[in-house]
Chain A
Amino acid sequence: MKWFFHIGRYYIMMSRVFSKPEKWSIYRKQFVKEIDNLGLGSLGIVVIISIFMGAVITIQSAFGFESPWIPLYAVGVASRDSIVLEFSPTIVSLILAGKVGSSIASEIGTMRVTEQIDALEIMGINSKAYLILPKIAAAVFINPFLIVISMFLALLGGLTAGLMTGAVTSYEFIYGIQYDFRPFNVTYALIKTLFFAFIITSVSAYHGYYTQGGALEVGKSSTNAVVYSSIVILLFNFILTQILLS
């Protein structure tokens, strides 16, 4: 029953989030600020994780394909598909759910317990829209760029690791990346990214917005934001994959 309560309250919150802003110019400023906070602020972790995960995927693929019957370029094919289909859109989104989600929930939660949200409401401002809409818009806009960067860097990391360990030559790896390439796989990854960006920001904002209590509860909201946005991402990963790839 508690699930129904949360889903209902989330739906009501979202209907207020997508109502007409009081002043577009203020929301535009917030949007730009959030792109910096949520997008550019996450670039560092995306770069590091993508390079190392790409490297590991390539080494693992090479280890698994140690057979005279399997051509070496298969390492490139396997790495590409793993990175484009799953690693970059899903795993990076899960990591962003940890970084961005906890930040959103704790920011909004702190505003709630220090009565800053009440202050917004009393001024006549739709606090849900003012605080949450720019975050959702910014994440939905910037996350696809982050994921494309992640794909590129993961493949670069894979190539570098392949060369450094001697597991695969650059010619075979690059040939493998190009072999039987399906552009729709990138579209599929980006569609998933859009959904995941929406889930991360809205679910985390929900947990922050309805924080009750003090500092301890802000911490709990932050943890719940990461846990629930990760679960919803995994659920939607399954649903979207079934819809788009089956």
Chain B
Amino acid sequence: MIEVKNICKSFNGKTVLKDINILFEKGKTNLIIGESGSGKTVLMKTMVGLFTADSGEVIYEGKNFNKLDFEDRKDIRKEIGMLFQGGALFDSLTVEENVMFPLSMFTNMTLAEQRDRADFCLTRVNLQTAHKLYPAEISGGMKKRVAIARAISMNPKYLFCDEPNSGLDPKTSILIDNLISELTTELNITTIVITHDMNSVMEIGDNISFLYKGEINWQGHRNEVMRTNSVELNNFVYASEFMKKLKQSLTHYGD
């Protein structure tokens, strides 16, 4: 469980996050949605300590992350797996070496054990044939899957995903969404996903927080998104013609 309390963050006098309060529950897929520039990535990077909050607290299982020193933060970070927008795979390492990297750094596993674990993680994300390829030699969807495999290699307690289906075709997007959702339940971890993909919202959003201009505008379950009274969320959800028509038909048939 992660609790974000009264987080504020600004850059060069420009406020990006205003008094953010969210509870991210364990074993659930927690979504942060919002328009581009609404502060989603800044919030995630503040939560993992890549940015320092101007004020407020990020609490991991009762530990205030902002008040920990470098070594104690390291202990929490070892329990975090993160999937970046572009994958952030290490270019100079093969797919297998990318997954083995955290294991070689933080465990005393032998090379054979590391290989076994990497193989297990890559199999879990349905990627059995790319072990010896470099990131430049694989597709965008494969990169995301390798990044997920790397993120789960250390059995994380917390999984952060920054727009996991950006740049992917709808079929691969669904595959990635399902994978994230399955892993969350299977490993009983706290998963936080940033997305502005409505498919993901409706498929995997257990807890949804809608960010609008740096503030929490709406919070709820995916089943409540379609019936919200929030004008801003409605504008976001029903931005496309397809969704507008869908809403009309839902209203017409009384849901």
Q: Give A residues with C-beta under 8 Å from B.
A: 22-23, 26, 110-111, 114-116, 118-119, 121-125
- Determine the chain A residues whose CB is within 8 A of the CB of B48 once the complex forms: 122
Is there an interface contact between A116 and B106, defined as CB atoms closer than 8 Å? no
Is there an interface contact between A115 and B86, defined as CB atoms closer than 8 Å? yes
Known: A115-B86, A122-B82, A124-B75. A26 touches B105 (CB 8 A): yes
Closest 7 CB pairs of A and B: A124-B77, A115-B88, A119-B88, A124-B74, A115-B84, A124-B78, A122-B82
Compute how far the CA of A127 lies from the CA of B91 in the bound complex, rounded to whole angstroms: 15
- Determine the chain A residues whose CB is within 8 A of the CB of B85 once the complex forms: 115
Q: Give B residues with C-beta under 8 Å from A.
A: 45, 48-50, 73-75, 77-78, 80, 82, 84-86, 88-91, 101-102, 104-106, 154, 160
Is there an interface contact between A119 and B84, defined as CB atoms closer than 8 Å? yes
- Determine the chain A residues whose CB is within 8 A of the CB of B77 once the complex forms: 121-124
Among A23, A114, A119: residue with most chain B CB under 10 A = A119
- Determine the chain A residues whose CB is within 8 A of the CB of B80 once the complex forms: 122
- Determine the chain A residues whose CB is within 8 A of the CB of B101 once the complex forms: 123
Compute how far the CA of A137 lies from the CA of B35 in the bound complex, rounded to whole angstroms: 46
Q: Across the interface, name the chain A residue whose C-beta is closest to B154.
A: A123
Q: A111-B91, A124-B75 are in contact. List 13 more A-B contacts (CB 8 A).
A: A22-B106, A23-B106, A110-B91, A116-B88, A118-B84, A119-B88, A119-B90, A122-B50, A123-B77, A123-B154, A124-B73, A124-B77, A124-B106
Known: A116-B90, A116-B91, A118-B50. A123 touches B84 (CB 8 A): no
The distance from the CB of B214 to the nearest CB of chain A, in whole angstroms, is 21
- Of B88, B89, B90, B105, which contacts A22 at CB under 8 A? B105
Is there an interface contact between B88 and A123, defined as CB atoms closer than 8 Å? no
- Of A26, A111, A122, A124, which contacts B104 at CB under 8 A? A26
Known: A114-B86, A114-B88, A115-B85. A123 touches B104 (CB 8 A): no
Compute how far the CA of A49 lies from the CA of B82 in the bound complex, rounded to whole angstroms: 47
- Determine the chain A residues whose CB is within 8 A of the CB of B91 once the complex forms: 110-111, 114, 116
Is there an interface contact between B105 and A125, defined as CB atoms closer than 8 Å? yes
- Determine the chain A residues whose CB is within 8 A of the CB of B84 once the complex forms: 115, 118-119
Is there an interface contact between A123 and B78, defined as CB atoms closer than 8 Å? yes
Compute how far the CA of A125 lies from the CA of B82 in the bound complex, rounded to whole angstroms: 14
Is there an interface contact between A23 and B82, defined as CB atoms closer than 8 Å? no
Compute how far the CA of A27 lies from the CA of B192 in the bound complex, rounded to whole angstroms: 33
Compute how far the CA of A26 lies from the CA of B100 in the bound complex, rounded to whole angstroms: 12
- Determine the chain A residues whose CB is within 8 A of the CB of B73 once the complex forms: 124
- Determine the chain B residues whose CB is within 8 A of the CB of A122 once the complex forms: 48, 50, 77, 80, 82, 160
- Determine the chain A residues whose CB is within 8 A of the CB of B78 once the complex forms: 123-124
The distance from the CB of B247 to the nearest CB of chain A, in whole angstroms, is 36
What are some 21 contacts across the A-B interface (CB < 8 A)?
A: A22-B105, A23-B104, A26-B105, A110-B91, A114-B91, A115-B84, A116-B88, A116-B89, A116-B90, A119-B82, A121-B77, A122-B77, A123-B101, A123-B102, A123-B105, A123-B106, A124-B73, A124-B74, A124-B77, A124-B78, A125-B105
Compute how far the CA of A122 lies from the CA of B84 in the bound complex, rounded to whole angstroms: 11
Compute how far the CA of A122 lies from the CA of B90 in the bound complex, rounded to whole angstroms: 14
Compute how far the CA of A227 lies from the CA of B105 in the bound complex, rounded to whole angstroms: 35
Compute how far the CA of A183 lies from the CA of B78 in the bound complex, rounded to whole angstroms: 53
Compute how far the CA of A118 lies from the CA of B101 in the bound complex, rounded to whole angstroms: 15
Q: Across the interface, name the chain A residue whose C-beta is closest to B90.
A: A116
The distance from the CB of A190 to the nearest CB of chain B, in whole angstroms, is 31
- Determine the chain B residues whose CB is within 8 A of the CB of A23 once the complex forms: 104-106
- Determine the chain B residues whose CB is within 8 A of the CB of A114 once the complex forms: 86, 88, 91
Is there an interface contact between A118 and B88, defined as CB atoms closer than 8 Å? yes
Compute how far the CA of A116 lies from the CA of B143 in the bound complex, rounded to whole angstroms: 13
Compute how far the CA of A26 lies from the CA of B102 in the bound complex, rounded to whole angstroms: 11
- Determine the chain B residues whose CB is within 8 A of the CB of A124 once the complex forms: 73-75, 77-78, 106
Q: Across the interface, name the chain B residue whose C-beta is closest to A117.
A: B88
Q: Across the interface, name the chain A residue whose C-beta is closest to B98.
A: A119
- Of A26, A116, A121, A125, which contacts B50 at CB under 8 A? A121
Compute how far the CA of A124 lies from the CA of B68 in the bound complex, rounded to whole angstroms: 13
The distance from the CB of A32 to the nearest CB of chain B, in whole angstroms, is 14
Compute how far the CA of A115 lies from the CA of B48 in the bound complex, rounded to whole angstroms: 14
